[in-house]
Amino acid sequence: MSEAPLLLVQDLKKTFVAHRGWPIPKRTEVRALDGVSFEVGRGEVLGVVGESGCGKSTVARVALRLQPSDGGSVTFDGADVHMASRREMRAMRRRMQMIFQDPASSLDGRQRIIDALGEPLRVHGIARGAAVRPAVERLLDEVGLPRTALDRYPHEFSGGQRQRIGIARALSLSPDLIFADEPVSALDVSVQAQILMLLERLRRDRGLAFVFISHDLGVVRHFCDRVVVMYLGRVVESGPTAQVFAEPLHPYTRLLKESSPEPDPTRTITMNFQEGEPPSPVSPPTGCHFHPRCRLATERCRTERPALRDLSPGRTVSCHLA
Amino acid sequence: MTQTPNTAARRAMRTPGLLLGVVLTVAMIAAALAAPWIAPFDPNEQDVLAILAAPDATHLLGADAFGRDVLSRILWGARISLYVGFLSTLAGVVAGTTVGVVAGYYGGLVDRIVVAATDVLLSFPQLIMGLLLVAVLGASIGNLVLAIAVTAAPAFIRMARGSTLAMRERDFVDACRSLGYSDLRIMFFHILPNILDELVVMASLWLASAIRTESTLAFIGLSVPPPTATWGGIVRDGFDNLLDGPWLALFPSLAILVVMIGLNLIGDGLRDATDPKGAQ
């Protein structure tokens, strides 16, 4: 990539520590992010995929500085997010927004829609007084909600409509980058398609960049330019979406691909991977995290952590055997 | 499911207990406010001829050992008792909620100190605590309010902190932060409105408790000094002549009882009305 990326995440680490037990508390560590690196270009849609518990939601929260990081850096448009002063952070917040998985929990139930969408405008001085209402009406138009929604409360809407409100709120500050954390997985399939079409249109019209976090490979294939595959807090593979799914380099990506086949009745599906849940991130396997589930695993995989290396332009993989 | 204030209000109107509680309480407050106009006598005026007079047409609720009109004293006493009760509860709720929300929101060391301090304060019985403070500070309305507020605050710290912890886990708090809202705005414009229901319910129950504490302190002589009338004080004065004039202690006790019932009905009614599980 020639120009500087919009978002650059380098070796990001986040460890959750819990003290449990009495009288001598036992300290348990969960390495949610264990050196995660990726970048997002302007107007680019990056998919982040992986099983639940692999740290994909944590990436968004740490990158947005909703939680502190324990190492590594997040650089947004040349500025370090975690080193930013309070004022710089406020300016940066306008440019990075988030869409949440559960639209019921992401809206304040005591706020009418006009207030929920008008407040960011007022706080950031984008619109004041009488100018707020028309600005919020434009946002509602953009996400396809009727203007009559303004004076109602969130609980009066369906899940899909609430997600549209959440999207409108993320758009209110005209961001350059939106983290979408499983934005459609809480919705009915028919509604999912509508929301995805809305996101697609917004991306085109506004030139938005997305970090699209999902476990649904079908959605990722459809929506994302590039994809990052995560496994237990680490990136195992990244590259252009079409290439990654056409020719996966990491055994885990192959597993994901086989467990989410493209619907084609003429092809038979063979599942030749060991069954099983991902191991607990509390005590991850040594070496390559994936080796207990990998049928190609060698002695080296069990002891040595594979580095993330470039294999061909734009494609990286973290596997000794690739 | 979250609910709008409107549906809760509508449900409240259909709760007969709540309505009765409001009527009783409002009536007592109105009587206290109107005391200068509706009290038949000066509460401190001593009438030698009326000493220990039984209830009759002149002294509707009788007169005490100094010939003072009991009805007038109860009405004037209501002003002190209700004033102290409301003000101290308000102070306790505001202070306790603020501390609780801040501790719950920030967590960490501040939170642990607050929790430890709250546990210590809660381990004192309310009355002993109030007694101790008034004894140290001296008996005046201001100190009385302070003492009762201090006994009420820990309960509100604990409740507000717990509710804030639960709210902080909700995505909308993260949404607020990613929109660049200040911590103060998030705490008091977003978290507080969402936990207000429970706080109001508890406040109405604590109000009853505060009035009772004031009366108890007055009964053992730790409230406003005589001759100023307060409910607890009137009961105590009446106790000295319990056999000659049982009405002296009976009527102020009834006044306390009515307010207790009223406020508890309000508290219970509000709890039912705001409980999402009670939604039809």
The answer to whether residue A45 is domain-embedded is: yes
- Per-residue pLDDT, averaged over A115-144, amounts to 92
Contacts of B174 in chain A (CB under 8 A): 61, 66, 98, 100, 106
Taking contacts as CB-CB distances below 8 angstroms, the residues of chain A near B2 are 109-110, 153-155
Nearest-Cα residue of chain A relative to residue B169: A105
Task: Give the chain B residue whose CA is nearest to the CA of A91.
Answer: B180
The total of structural domains in chain B comes to 1
Residue B127 lies in a domain: yes
In a domain, B6, yes or no: no
Evaluate if residue A276 carries a pLDDT over 90.
no
Best interface-test mutation with A: which of B3, B163, B172, B183 has the largest number of A CBs within 10 A?
B172
Domain assignment of residue A57, yes or no: yes
Residue A262 to chain B, least CA–CA distance (Å): 33
Domain assignment present for residue B54? The answer is no
Dist CA A146 CA A159 (whole Å): 15
Given this model, what pLDDT does residue B178 score? 93
In chain A, the percentage of residues whose pLDDT exceeds 70 is: 94
pLDDT of A107-128, one tens digit each? 998 899 999 999 999 999 998 8
The number of beta carbons lying within 10 Å of the beta carbon of residue B48 is 7
How far apart CA B15 and CA B21 sit, in angstroms, is 10
Instruction: Name the average pLDDT for chain B.
Output: 85
In a domain, B9, yes or no: no
Residues of chain B found within 8 Å of residue A110, distances taken between Cβ atoms: 2, 4-5, 190, 193-194
The chain B residue lying nearest A108, using CA atoms, is B172
Contacts of B3 in chain A (CB under 8 A): 109, 155
Residues of A in contact with B194 (CB under 8 A): 108-110
Point out the least confidently predicted range of A270-274, B148-152, B219-223.
Answer: A270-274
Per-residue HEC secondary structure of B34-47 comes to CHHHHCCCCCCCCC
Residues 6+ apart with CB under 8 A from A75: A7, A8, A9, A10, A81
pLDDT value at position A288? 87
Residue B181 resides in a domain: yes
Which residue in A181, A290, A274 sits closest to A234, CA to CA? Answer: A290
Q: What is the CATH number of the domain that holds B217?
A: 1.10.3720.10
The ipTM of this complex is 0.87
pLDDT at residue A76 greater than cutoff 90: yes
Q: Classify residue A182: in a domain, yes or no.
A: no
Q: Under an 8 A CB cutoff, do A105 and B174 touch?
A: no
**Diameter over CA atoms, chain A:** 69
> pTM score, two decimals?
0.83
Strand partners, A100: none
Q: What would the mean pLDDT of B157-173 be, rounded to a whole number?
A: 93
Under 8 Å CB pairs connecting chains A and B tally to: 70
Cα A60 to Cα A180: distance, rounded to the nearest angstrom: 8
B15 SS3 class: coil
Q: Convert the pLDDT of each residue in B59-112 to its tens digit.
A: 777 777 777 888 888 888 888 889 999 999 999 999 999 999 999 999 889 999
Parent domain of B146: 17-35+63-275
* Contact yes or no for A249/A237 (Cβ under 8 A): yes
Confidence of residue B4 (pLDDT cuts 50, 70, 90): low
Average pLDDT over residues A72-88: 91
Residue in A closest to B173 by C-alpha = A106
By percentage, how much of chain B surpasses pLDDT 90? 32
Query: If pLDDT is split at 50, 70 and 90, which confidence band does A171 have?
Result: very high
pLDDT at res. B279 = 46
Residue B237: pLDDT band with limits 50, 70, 90: confident
Model confidence at A23, pLDDT cuts 50, 70, 90, reads confident
Chain A residues with CB inside 8 Å of B200's CB?
none
Domain assignment of residue A206, yes or no: no
Select, from the ranges A14-18, A118-122, A254-258, the one with the highest average predicted confidence (pLDDT).
A118-122
Please report whether residue A101 resides in a domain: no
Report chain B residues whose CB lies below 8 A from the CB of A61. 174
B190–A108 C-beta distance less than 8 A: yes
Looking at the predicted structure, is the pLDDT value of residue A143 above 70?
A: yes
Asked whether the predicted pLDDT for residue B224 surpasses 80, the reply is no
Looking at residue B276, its pLDDT comes to 57
What are the CA-CA distances from residue B81 to residues A77, A141, B27, B136, B253 (Å)? 63, 57, 15, 21, 12
Q: What is the pLDDT of residue A20?
A: 81
Query: Which of A108, A119, A162, A173 is the best substitution to test chain B (most B C-beta atoms within 10 A)?
Result: A108
pLDDT confidence band for B280 (50 / 70 / 90)? very low
As a whole number of angstroms, the distance between CA A109 and CA A153 comes to: 7
Q: Give residues 85 to 144 of A whose Cβ lies within 8 Å of B.
A: 89-90, 93-94, 96-98, 100-102, 105-111, 119-120, 123-124
**Residue of B179, B187, B197, B199 to mutate when probing chain A, most A C-beta within 10 A:** B179
Alpha carbon of B172: minimum distance to chain A alpha carbons (Å): 4
pLDDT in tens, B17-27: 888 988 999 98
> Residue B29 domain-assigned?
yes
Task: Check residues A81 and A294 and name the one with the higher pLDDT.
Answer: A81
Looking at the structure of chain A, the number of domains it has is: 1
Residue A125 within a domain: no
**Banded model confidence at residue B2, pLDDT cuts 50, 70, 90:** very low
Q: Tell me the C-alpha distance between B2 and A317, whole Å.
A: 46
Residue A299 lies in a domain: yes
Domain that holds residue A291: 7-95+214-317
What percent of chain A stands above pLDDT 90? 48
The whole-number pLDDT of residue B1 equals 42
Beta pairing partners, A39: A8
Cβ(A296)–Cβ(A251) below 8 Å: yes
Residue A78 maps to a domain: yes
The CATH number assigned to the domain holding A259 equals 3.40.50.300
